[in-house]
Amino acid sequence: MKNRYIDLHTHTTRSDGRCTPGQLVEMAVKNNISVLAITDHNVLSPDVRSLENRHPGEIKLLTGSEISCRHTFTNGETKEIHVVVLMYDKNAPNLAEIVSKNREHNREGYITAILEKLKGCGINIGTYEELCAAAGKSEHVGRMHVAEKMRDMGFVSSITEAFDTFIGDFGLKKAYVQSGIEYVSMREAVKAALLDGAVPVLAHLYYYQLSEAGQEELLKSFKEYAGEFGAIETEYGRYTEEQRILLREYADRYGLARSGASDFHGFDEKETLSNHFPYELYECILERKRRLDAARRTTNG
């Protein structure tokens, strides 16, 4: 019997990924992934059953989304935090309301402001309209497309450099623009997930550039909101083994299930779906899902 692998955090053209959902599923099957979650930013899953039926018996697809939310720390600082929600109910009315709120903003104005700030750094990659044309099928033109254009035009050597030096909310921030989007709070996002039967997963902890004390505070808050049903990405594709070990320790300390995530977008040729996160991580998430469903039956019974 061949080994079974999982990937519970990926993106497609339904937000800011390069592959269509169908192409992503085909890639996953070729890479021996038997459980995949399509978790596009602030949008609920495509028809996962229809996609599964194209590969009968080869792959299981989970409903998912990556929810942008805000969290205010005790020092008064507010940061954008991402919560991946997995295996929600078919209709998911509470999450549908959350993603609708999150998508009600002027994205053209935000991206145009970044392009103007880049021009001030001597980097002219064109207009918002030209960026949309280059993005092709992507439904959500964002910073990843800006970074790709910067790389393709030779202004940076990689997408990582574009974020670290210019447009990320970390690093040098030479052309960083505050989005101005009033995302829902992390508490609201997690509550909506639980109401709709979804396992909330705290995504990529080190992305937020927090001090150790800040990480602890965020984890305590997330645990408070998620209770016994939450998880955290410990086996994250872009992290070193040393970082993964620390994340596993955090998971155990706060009673969070471990999750495996590539955060695949498809913009970099080094990005693949061959991380081969162990199937046991899916079983950990599934155990939280069963626990949540049992609690909901008790509450509603």
User: Of 116, 88, 114, whose CA–CA distance to 285 is shortest?
Assistant: 88
2 has a pLDDT exceeding 70: no
pLDDT per residue as tens digits for the range 39-51: 999 999 989 999 9
The answer to whether 12 and 21 are in contact (CB under 8 A) is: yes
Task: Report the relative pairing of strands 5-10 and 277-278 from DSSP bridges.
Answer: antiparallel
Helix (H) or strand (E) run with residue 80 in it: strand 78-86
CA-based radius of gyration for the chain:
19
Contact between 44 and 96 (Cβ < 8 Å): yes
CATH superfamily label, 5-103+186-300? Metal-dependent hydrolases (3.20.20.140)
List the domain boundaries for the chain. 5-103+186-300, 107-167
Q: What is the pLDDT of residue 1?
A: 46
Residues 6+ apart with CB under 8 A from 269: none
- What is the DSSP pairing of strand 78-86 with strand 199-202? antiparallel
Each as own residue / partner, the long-range contacts of residues 149-152 (CB below 8 Å, 24 or more positions apart, any chain) are 149/125, 150/118, 150/123, 150/125
Reported pTM: 0.90
162: left (phi over 0), alpha (psi -120 to 50) or beta: alpha
On average, the pLDDT of the chain sits at: 93
What mean pLDDT do residues 156-176 have? 91
Instruction: Tell me the CA distances in angstroms from 273 to 27, 48, 199, one per residue in order.
Output: 7, 18, 22
Spatial separation of the C-alpha atoms in residues 162 and 241, rounded to whole Å:
24
Structure confidence by residue, pLDDT tens digits, 191-250: 999 999 999 999 999 999 999 999 999 999 999 999 999 999 999 998 999 999 999 999
- Give per-residue pLDDT as tens, 34-81: 999 999 999 999 899 999 999 999 999 999 999 999 999 999 999 999
Helix H segments across the chain?
21-30, 48-53, 93-102, 107-120, 128-135, 143-152, 159-161, 186-195, 212-226, 241-253, 279-300
